[in-house]
Amino acid sequence: MWSDRGRLAAKRLAALARCSQPGPGITRLPFSPEHRCALTLLTGQMEAAGLSVTLDAAGTLVGRLEGPPGARTLIMGSHQDSVREGGAFDGIMGVVLPILALEVLHEEGRTLPFAVEVLAFADEEGVRFPTALIGPRALADTFDPAVLDLIDADGVTLRSAMVEFGLDPGAIPGLARDPASVLGYLETHIEQGPVLEARDEPLGVVTAICGIERHAVSIEGETGHAGTLPMDMRRDALVGAAQLVLEVNRMARATSGLLGTVGTLEVFPGAVNAVPRAVRTMIELRAPDDAVRDAAARSLTDFARNTSAARGLTLDMTRTYQQPATPCDRGLSERLAEAVTSVTGKPAPHLPSGATHDASAMADLCPAAMLFVRCRDGVSHRPEEFASPDDMGMALAAIVSFLKVMSDPEAR
């Protein structure tokens, strides 16, 4: 049964993948014709599962299954948008599978002692506009109306794009939910990494969404002719930057849970026969434990200062972005692990998420948990992104089991 349901999920995802701009992979940006196309297909799927469907002021598609009078609501979902030339599973799979889970319960004639909503958020990737997580932040009452004035590459404001899409951005503050009315939030997502595949595990339970911080680094030295400036007299900015890059890598490898990346490097004057005068770079640190990340940032700052001073270089290192880690709710995660074990017959693996998800914003509203699904080669944000029908079938079975576990009054 579950393999067949997994193949049905794959078929539905293939249909949604056609809601894309022309070109390689999937490009589906928020408040676009492609977004509208996806909403039409998802509305049909939700209605087939017996859900009532609405589109809220933030562009979130809401499929609701009513529960008993006064019952709280369990929310499931993810985002419909993609990066440019992305894959067919990131985000959108976490909408399709919960709909199918409710479809299964609908066919079984099973009722739940709580209401259930499946949400398809408009914008998690932050590709079109320099902001993201509009939908979950609206529900959690953390939405900043100032972002409505941000513009895309064509000069269109977020506010204008939403109005053109038929939405009323002025009504977004009214979307805030009462935390007492929400039972919890479950997000299902491809892992976007290779850990589950390396362990030969189809499913995993997320422990926390990593905190992130970024540092802009500027190192200044002195240029000179590469053929006439002796090595012992050089103030080579790139050599100092190279030492810092290696230290980021060394520290991250030596520190459990820490991820460190230097993804950009600008060298001035950028000539093969000139000693580098200046380097601009960015360091990104991620960890599921904020204390680990904070300690790493302090250590790297000290290293950069000492290295620069020893080489006669000047340093400017400024933290430009910080997002705290989001621990997943222990109670919900235990129920989810129980559901995974009931499907796989093995203890559920637990792992952190290095990527940010809608769950990070929903955790400001209610307890949140995440189910990871194995993806081939750990690939994501590329056209080759893939989760097998069999693995999706197992994820679907775990979601159904989770809903049944949550039906036990002691689990709530």
pLDDT at 411 over 70: no
Length of the chain: 412
ω into 269 cis (within 30 of 0): yes
CATH top class, domain 211-323: alpha beta
Q: What is the pLDDT of residue 412?
A: 59
pLDDT in tens, 270-286: 999 999 999 999 999 99
Reference 326, options 376, 300, 290; nearest CA is 290
Q: What tokens appear for 243 in the block?
A: 């030492």
Which part of the chain is CATH 3.40.630.10? Answer: 2-209+325-411
Q: What tokens appear for 21 in the block?
A: 């701009």
Which part of the chain is CATH 3.30.70.360? Answer: 211-323
Largest CA distance in the chain: 84
CB 12 within 8 A of CB 88: no
Give the pLDDT band (50/70/90) at residue 409: confident
Q: What is the pLDDT of residue 135?
A: 98
The correct answer on CATH 3.40.630.10 for the domain covering 2-209+325-411 is yes
DSSP state of 74: E
Q: What is the pLDDT of residue 408?
A: 79
pLDDT in tens, 283-337: 999 999 999 999 999 999 999 999 999 999 999 999 999 999 999 999 999 999 9
